[in-house]
Amino acid sequence: SQTIHQWPATLVQPVGSPLSLECTVEGTSNPNLYWYRQAAGRGLQLLFYSVGIGQISSEVPQNLSASRPQDRQFILSSKKLLLSDSGFYLCAWSVSRDYGYTFGSGTRLTVV
Amino acid sequence: AQSVTQLGSHVSVSEGALVLLRCNYSSSVPPYLFWYVQYPNQGLQLLLKYTTGATLVKGINGFEAEFNKSQTSFHLRKPSVHISDTAEYFCAVSQRRALTFGSGTRLQVQP
């Protein structure tokens, strides 16, 4: 069966520090991978998606970047965090438009 | 372009009552529609989806939704809610590459 792992679960980071969030998928090949952010009281904002190794599409200009070094690994990074980067970050995978997404358990990031 | 509107950011009902969560969408292509549930500090879990075929879709935990093309709606309902249904619910429409989510409806079920 397919599983998705996302870590860490919670993170408190000072302003200006770097960030690396990792997401891995098991049990499927060549998935579409997604990073969403959920800010307090707001819906889900698509940040990045990837349809293959090294292929990253950015939806919103921001302080973040994403990479896909392996087929089932998706990394969200920042060189210098801002207070506005605080939120709940969710990784998801899918295989087709009608399949829907399977989400990871999320990372709660607080920038202080 | 696709978009999703969820009417009502907060809904409060008593346990055992019928609940209806509203979702309207716009889509330039035949839509694939989804409902997700999110419990506090967790990821989203798929409740049900409409792709093609029967317009009444049944999902997990006793939820169901009806696709109405003429009204561009995909409302979620449950005939008798339980306290454990307290959560946030998101409607979503599938774009070419990614899902577009509504802003969510927080459902509070009172004892």
Please choose, from the candidates B84, B53, B66, the residue with its C-alpha nearest in 3D space to the C-alpha of residue B20: B66
Please choose, from the candidates A109, A88, A85, the residue with its C-alpha nearest in 3D space to the C-alpha of residue A42: A88
Q: Which domain holds residue B64?
A: 3-110
Which positions in chain A have a beta carbon within 8 angstroms of at least one beta carbon in chain B? 6, 32, 34, 42-44, 46, 49, 51, 57, 59, 88, 90, 92, 97-98, 100-106, 108
Task: Write the burial class of residue B29 (CB in 10 Å: 0-12 exposed, 13-18 middle, 19+ buried).
Answer: exposed
Q: Is B95 helix (H, G, I), strand (E, B) or coil?
A: coil
Domain count, chain A: 1
Q: For residues A19 and A109, is the Cβ–Cβ distance under 8 A?
A: yes
HEC per residue, A70-98: ECCEEEEEECCCCHHHCEEEEEEEECCCC
**Is B32 close to A90, i.e. CB distance below 8 A?**
no
Buried/exposed code over B57-75 (b: 16+ C-beta within 10 A; e: otherwise): bebeeebbbebeeeeebbb
Classify the phi-psi angles of A100: left when phi > 0, otherwise alpha if psi is within -120 to 50, otherwise beta: left
The CATH number linked to B36 is 2.60.40.10
Going residue by residue through chain A, which has 112 residues, state the pLDDT in tens, using 9 for 90 and above: 889 999 999 999 999 999 999 999 999 989 999 999 998 767 899 999 999 999 999 988 678 999 999 999 999 999 999 999 999 999 999 988 778 899 999 999 999 9
Please give the Cα distance from A65 to A94 (Å, whole number): 20
Enter the DSSP assignment of B83.
Answer: G
Domain count, chain B: 1
Q: For residues A25 and A4, is the Cβ–Cβ distance under 8 A?
A: yes
Q: Which domain holds residue A60?
A: 3-111
Lowest mean pLDDT among A30-34, A37-41, B31-35, B66-70: A37-41
Amino acid at A81: L
Counted residue by residue, chain B has a size of 111
**Is B97 close to A105, i.e. CB distance below 8 A?**
no
Task: Please check the confidence at residue B16 and state whether its pLDDT lies above 70.
Answer: yes
Q: Tell me the average pLDDT across B64-92.
A: 96
Q: How far is A76 from chain B (nearest CA, A)?
A: 17
Residue B1's pLDDT is 63
